[in-house]
Structures are given as structure tokens and as C-alpha cells.
């Protein structure tokens, strides 16, 4: 199901492919595996203040323990213990020219480096966490908070992008060079990986939500896809998909555009088409309307529909009517129900009707159940009806009426990945909306299943 954000993406990327039209924006999921990587590494560890100060003084020529104690203001015993630790770590050595009564120390080359960098380097064995992008076949710096479980990806009907391989990730698949390139990007990191010993991960990947842009030429022979992550096109993912067959391998097809519902001649005359959608905010007087009656009549693209539905269930003040042949849980979920209930509790009259045919089974029972439960809680202000048959796709709220070929409460192309341009009409002329509202209420009453 397209989201309200897709209208923004459509504005941003509609012209990203010369000669091609943006046909669909499909919610997608990139398979990501959480890797627990056992490594041998070097760790830079910040020096204790006493150690750092002592190394710097020795480097400046203060080499006797008693002199170091006096300048540092520490008793000689902790100074000698720190010197012994420095010898153990290879930072300090005894001066071969010192006598028994005049013991002196010098910095080793490693100690000189540590004194300059103010950090000690020690070998460690660590288990680190990285994220492996299955589509790219490489680790990436993803935020784990953005990843979703496989079940949620299925519930949201994300198109799962293919992985390079279904084989487990092994130590040979991740190199120290790649790990270190990611670690260096972290300002707080103090590790340098020397060797990858083992890789462990769960059998089921999580998914990084993304958006798949589907472009097509007028003859629907040239279909291209692009992957958008966090509002930016990922060329790496696009090339990875092309190498595996692109849109064809994903089962994506583009059908001819759906026929737009026609308005009466007067409204068709003033309708602003989608091609000039930048003018949608213009108001137009309706010929034959009441004195001073104003409104707008504009074309609605497939990417505008989710935003309009969101506006309806969050901003309707008086009335809300939705007719849609099918209902899917990718649209009607708990968040949708919460917003709809918010309208009902504020006194908005709500009518929702569905049903492609008497024996149709394409609706999700879970989504239907959510609406049934809500209607039982508010029987005076919310009606939910199963119709014998409806092809109508209508959204009416307050002064706005949208007639379209778009399925408001489902996304019919999601199962077989066949997409087409869905176009509608938005009218905000009160007399027209009132007439349409009464007409569709009457249809619901006449076609309601017993």
C-alpha cells in the first residue's frame, strides 16, 4: 500500500528517468542479517593521568624515579609501580648506563609513540556487531532501530528484495579492511581489526524498510526500478537488482492505465489535470452553482490518494464515507483504527462499505474484524457494511469528494506485483459533494448484504 510519504517522493523523483513515467512507489524491505563477529584486534586505550604525565616527563629527560616522584607530587612507591607496568607493556626500559645507586629509565620506540598519541595499544579478542545487507552482499552501517522483524515486514506487505545468496555468512565473507572502514567512521571507536575468527547470526534476517520506484515507458516495454533509502536513491542497490534481472526478476509488471471516472461536462470543463498538478490549489467557480459558490476540481494521481485518506481519517469534522471493494491489513491496521475512532469520538458520522462480490475472499479477515468491532462500539455514528457487489472507489469527507480507480482500503496490485496508474477526481464544491454523499449512502442501503 502506498503511504502518505509517497506523494513527497513522487514530487522528488517523478522526473528521475528520462522518457519514463513514475508508475508506482512500492514499500520494500532489504534483507539485513545481524552478525556477531569474533575478531582479534588492537585496542587503543586512553592512558591514566599518572601514566601519561610520567611518559611525557621521561620523554623530556626526567629519568630518575625520585625526580619523577618530586615533579609529579606522588610518593615514590606508586611511581615505581607505574614504571614497572610501563616496562611490562614495553613502553619503558632501564637505561643501560644507569648505576645501582642511580637507576634511570628511557622510553622505548613504542613508549615514544604512546606518549605522543596519549593512548596505549593492546591486543584483544572481541565480539563485535555488524549488519550484513543481503542484497548488496556486504556489511553496511545501518541503524538497528530501523530494522523490522520478518513478521512485521509480511504484515506491512513489504516487497522483499532478493539476497545475493541464501547461504550463511562466513568469516571469509567479511574482511578486516571492510570492518575497519566502518569502525573508522565512528569517532568513539578505538579498535583496529586484525583478523576475523568467526561469524554467527540468526537464521532469519530482519528488513530495512525502503521504497521501490517503478518507472515505465508509454508502451510498458521498458520498466526500470530504483531503490530509495531514507529519502535518497541508492545506486548500489539499483545496480545489484539490475545484475539479477531488475523488474522482471522481481515479478513487476505494468498494466495499461485504469480508466478514470468521468465527471459531468461542466466539471470536466474546469478540471485541472494531473499534468498541471502544481495548480491544484487554484479555486474555480462552478458554472450553474449557487451565487458565489467556489471550489476546485483537480486530477488526483496514484501518489496523492494515501495523503487524502490520511487527511480524511485525521481531519474530517462532520462526515466521512469510504467505499472500497477490498480491505487489507496493510491499510486497515491498529493505527488506522485509532485515527478513525478519534473521528467518531469527535462526533463525525462515518460510513464504510466494501465487497466486490458476494463470494469474494480477497479481504483480510483481521482487517475486516477491526472495523466490525469499531462499528459495534459506536452503532449510532459508525456503520460498516458488506455489499453484494461494488466497484465504486469513493472517498467523501466534509466538503471533499474523490472518485477514482484507486482501491482506498487495499492495494490490489500488491499480491501479483502488477501496477498501473490510478487516477481520480477531487471536487470541493459543496453542492456536488452533498449530491454524491446522498447518492452513495442510498447505494449502500440498497446493496447491503442481509
Model confidence pLDDT, tens digit, residues 65-83: 889 999 988 888 888 898 9
**Alpha-carbon gap, residue 415 to 361, rounded angstroms:** 14
User: Average of pLDDT values for 312-332?
Assistant: 93
pLDDT exceeds 60 at position 290: no
CATH code at 48-105: 1.10.10
87-102 pLDDT, tens digit per residue, is 988 889 988 887 777 7
DSSP 3-state of 351: strand
Among all chains, which residue has been given the C-alpha cell 491499510?
331
pLDDT exceeds 90 at position 132: yes
Neighbouring C-alpha atoms within 13 Å toward the C-beta of 379:
1
200-227 pLDDT, tens digit per residue, is 999 889 999 999 999 998 888 889 999 9
The matching CATH number, chosen from 3.40.720.10, 3.40.50.1980, 3.30.870.10, 3.40.50.150, for 265-447 is 3.30.870.10
Q: What is the structure's pLDDT at 287?
A: 44
Listed ranges 41-55, 58-72, 229-243, 269-283; the one with the highest mean pLDDT: 229-243
Do 106 and 92 form a contact (C-beta atoms < 8 A)?
yes
Show the CA angle centred on residue 242, arms to residues 237 and 243, nearest 5°: 100
pLDDT band at 386 (very low <50, low <70, confident <90, very high): very high
* Residues paired with residue 395 on neighbouring β-strands, in sequence order: 322, 402
Per DSSP, helices labelled H in 148-302 are 150-155, 176-184, 235-243, 246-249, 265-270
Q: What is the structure's pLDDT at 417?
A: 67
Residue 178 corresponds to which cell in the numbers above?
571492510
pLDDT band at 229 (very low <50, low <70, confident <90, very high): very high
pLDDT exceeds 70 at position 280: no
156 against 163, higher pLDDT? 163
User: Average of pLDDT values for 110-135?
Assistant: 82
pLDDT band at 118 (very low <50, low <70, confident <90, very high): low
**Alpha-carbon gap, residue 42 to 48, rounded angstroms:** 18
pLDDT exceeds 70 at position 279: no
Same CATH topology for 48-105 and 265-447: the answer is no
**Alpha-carbon gap, residue 355 to 324, rounded angstroms:** 7
DSSP 3-state of 431: helix
pTM: 0.67
390-407 pLDDT, tens digit per residue, is 888 999 999 999 999 888
Q: What is the structure's pLDDT at 214?
A: 92
Percent of the chain past pLDDT 70, that is, above it, reads 91
Neighbouring C-alpha atoms within 13 Å toward the C-beta of 153:
22
Residue 52 corresponds to which cell in the numbers above?
601519561
Q: What is the structure's pLDDT at 189?
A: 79
User: Average of pLDDT values for 309-333?
Assistant: 93
Cβ-Cβ contacts under 8 Å for 178 (sequence gap 6 or more): 138, 139
| DSSP code per residue over 355-393 | -SSTT---S-HHHHHHHHHHHHH-TTTEEEEEBS-----
Residue ranges per structural domain of the chain: 6-40+125-252, 48-105, 265-447
User: Average of pLDDT values for 108-120?
Assistant: 77
Q: How far does Cα 413 stand from its chain's mean position?
A: 21
**Alpha-carbon gap, residue 401 to 313, rounded angstroms:** 14
pLDDT exceeds 70 at position 284: no
Q: What is the structure's pLDDT at 416?
A: 58
Task: Quote the mean pLDDT of the chain.
Answer: 86
Amino acid at each position: 500500500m502506498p503511504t502518505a510519504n509517497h506523494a513527497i517522493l513522487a514530487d522528488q523523483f517523478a522526473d528521475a528517468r528520462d522518457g519514463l513515467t513514475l508508475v508506482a512507489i512500492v514499500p520494500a524491505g532489504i534483507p539485513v542479517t545481524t552478525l556477531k563477529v569474533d575478531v582479534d584486534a588492537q585496542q587503543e586505550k586512553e592512558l591514566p593521568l599518572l601514566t601519561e604525565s610520567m611518559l611525557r616527563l621521561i620523554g623530556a629527560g626526567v629519568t630518575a624515579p625520585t625526580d619523577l616522584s618530586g615533579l609529579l607530587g606522588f610518593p615514590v612507591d606508586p611511581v615505581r609501580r607505574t614504571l614497572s607496568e610501563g616496562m611490562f607493556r614495553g613502553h619503558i626500559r632501564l637505561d643501560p648506563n644507569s648505576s645501582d645507586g642511580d637507576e634511570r629509565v628511557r622510553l622505548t620506540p613504542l613508549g615514544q609513540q604512546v606518549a605522543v598519541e596519549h593512548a596505549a595499544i593492546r591486543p584483544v579478542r572481541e565480539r563485535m556487531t555488524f549488519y550484513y545487507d543481503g542484497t548488496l552482499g556486504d556489511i553496511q552501517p545501518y541503524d538497528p532501530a530501523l530494522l523490522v522483524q520478518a513478521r512485521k515486514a509480511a504484515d506491512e506487505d513489504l516487497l522483499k528484495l532478493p539476497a545475493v545468496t541464501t547461504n550463511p555468512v562466513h568469516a571469509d565473507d567479511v574482511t578486516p579492511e571492510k570492518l575497519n572502514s566502518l569502525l573508522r567512521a565512528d569517532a568513539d571507536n578505538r579498535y583496529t581489526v586484525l583478523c576475523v575468527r568467526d561469524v554467527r547470526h540468526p537464521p532469519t534476517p530482519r528488513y530495512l524498510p525502503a521504497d521501490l520506484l517503478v518507472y515505465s515507458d508509454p508502451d510498458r516495454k521498458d520498466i526500470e526500478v530504483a531503490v530509495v533509502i531514507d529519502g535518497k536513491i541508492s545506486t548500489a542497490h539499483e545496480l545489484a537488482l539490475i545484475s539479477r534481472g531488475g523488474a522482471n526478476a522481481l515479478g513487476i509488471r505494468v498494466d495499461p492505465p485504469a480508466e478514470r471516472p468521468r465527471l459531468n461536462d461542466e466539471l470536466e470543463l474546469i478540471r485541472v489535470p494531473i499534468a498541471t498538478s502544481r495548480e491544484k490549489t487554484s479555486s474555480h467557480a462552478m458554472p450553474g452553482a449557487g451565487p458565489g459558490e467556489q471550489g476546485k476540481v483537480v486530477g488526483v494521481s496514484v501518489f496523492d490518494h494515501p495523503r487524502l485518506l490520511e487527511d480524511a481519517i485525521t481531519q474530517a469534522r462532520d462526515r466521512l464515507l469510504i467505499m472500497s471493494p477490498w480491505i487489507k491489513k496493510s491499510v486497515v491496521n491498529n493505527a488506522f483504527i485509532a485515527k478513525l475512532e478519534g473521528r467518531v469520538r469527535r462526533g463525525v458520522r462515518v460510513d464504510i462499505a466494501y465487497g466486490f462480490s458476494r463470494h469474494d475472499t480477497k479481504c483480510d479477515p483481521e482487517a475486516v474484524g477491526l472495523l466490525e468491532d469499531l462499528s459495534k462500539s459506536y452503532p449510532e455514528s459508525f456503520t460498516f457494511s458488506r455489499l453484494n457487489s461494488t466497484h465504486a472507489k469513493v472517498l467523501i469527507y466534509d466538503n471533499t469528494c474523490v472518485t477514482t480507480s484507486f482501491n482506498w482500503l487495499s492495494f490490489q496490485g500488491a499480491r501479483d506485483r502488477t501496477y498501473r496508474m490510478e487516477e481520480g477526481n477531487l471536487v470541493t464544491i459543496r453542492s456536488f459533494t452533498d449530491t454524491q454523499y446522498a447518492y452513495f449512502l442510498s447505494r449502500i442501503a440498497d446493496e447491503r448484504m442481509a
